[in-house]
Structure 1
Amino acid sequence: MIITDTHTHLYSEAFDDDRKEAIEKAIDLGVKRFFIPAIDSTYTESMLKLEKDFPGHMYLMSGLHPTHVKENFEEELAHVEEMLETHSYYAVGEIGIDLYWEKKYLKEQQVAFKKQIQLAKRKNLPIVIHCRDAFDEVFEVLEGEKGDGLRGIFHCFTGTLEQAKKAISYNMKLGIGGVVTFKNGKMDTFLDQIELKHIVLETDAPYLAPTPYRGKRNESAYIINVLEKLADIYCVPNEEIAEITTNNSKDVFGV
């Protein structure tokens, strides 16, 4: 059984004390493929080291996270473009709009999101979308960019059935993580109305740990809890969830 974690920040400082052990634990459980989203240029070096230390398991993305869009966002976007020219990446992400923490840089976030979508199209790469308290704003940008070349993952999807269908209409898979295991998450009330071909698994480690680890540091090994919850929701064996979602990730990332 090969499991794919399509979104995990294994270079995070949260893993500085036991990174190797945490990754090997996940690999032993069948998590063989880890897709690593970017935040900003300060993490590039640690991401490249992660790829070097675990060859054949780590697949990097390049991008500017919306919460890190500040006055210098044009410089950061130039770094993203430079990295895409000089190294192999499998997606542009994570990118999008986040209005949870502040709305001061909404305009800049919209510009950065749009520019990075266009960059992904030019490079024939998928995008990985971060959306928090900003479904309308994200969908507005996607509407303007829909069509040939637009594809990717709506990371950490926590919206409604209607929003799920709209995301899928833009050629996005839904990244399902720990929230699906929360009692108040509500995802389990409608997810079975979405075909499995639209679903990929993720952890967003070290964030959003699933039940029973909620509130603790998340790790890629805990994707097993997400997989088991989906097996319950869809009434299929764990192995089928692993196979379908891994194949879906291959469709997105091309590897």
Structure 2
Amino acid sequence: MGNKIKANAIAITGGASGIGLATAHSLLGRGYEPWLLDLKRETLDNACDELGLARDRGIVCDVSDEVSVEQAIRTVSANMGLAGIVNSAGIAFDRPAVETSVEDFKRILDVNLTGSFIVSRAAARLWMERGEAGSIVNISSVSGLCGNKGRTAYGASKGGINLMTLVMANELGPIGVRVNAVAPGPIDTPLARVVHTEDVRRQWNERVPLGRYGTTDEIARAVTFLLSDDASYVNGQILAVDGGFINAGLSA
């Protein structure tokens, strides 16, 4: 099933900074029209200015709020047709399981996992209603693929995203909607600079075969590929972009 209109807009949650903003830059270079969904008007305005976009292309949106998400997705679609979404909004902390409160655990899941579900569901319903195809790319993590210490809540949220990706790819593939995920390793984002201590950074640099943190641009290029027609037969995949970390064996 193909699109009835030439949809060109990509809605990016967490689009005002980090991987989301880098993805917007990458998509502009490929001729797409990114729309940024984020919590704060000021950061959205700054991001739109950086991208050279009209400020109304930044929409204040809380991904954990169904009404907020529905309004945002409808706004994007009404303007340019919705070609795809990127679920990049996320929060994190590094804390042992025994020191993690139930409130913090729920908060991480509400934003990372439930938020990605709400946005994906809203887009899928819109495409089904209109008989259109589309593409969803979820930002997961290698912490959803292996047991990194301190990541009980974060890892659970990202592991949930991975399985949600597989199920939705199975359910939505027959109507022309592809669902994939990118699982970054250590990436030098504003969030990582807050969460990662010097000791954590040292461990990542030692255990990643490429010996360094990745950049947001490197993640953005993988996301752009999965959204594009270059990946038209790619569905239900979790693509680790991690410098080889997840598959590394003995190094010495």
TM-score category of the 2 structures, normalised to the smaller one: 0.3 to 0.5
TM-score by length of 2: 0.38
TM-score by length of 1: 0.37
Higher helix share: 2
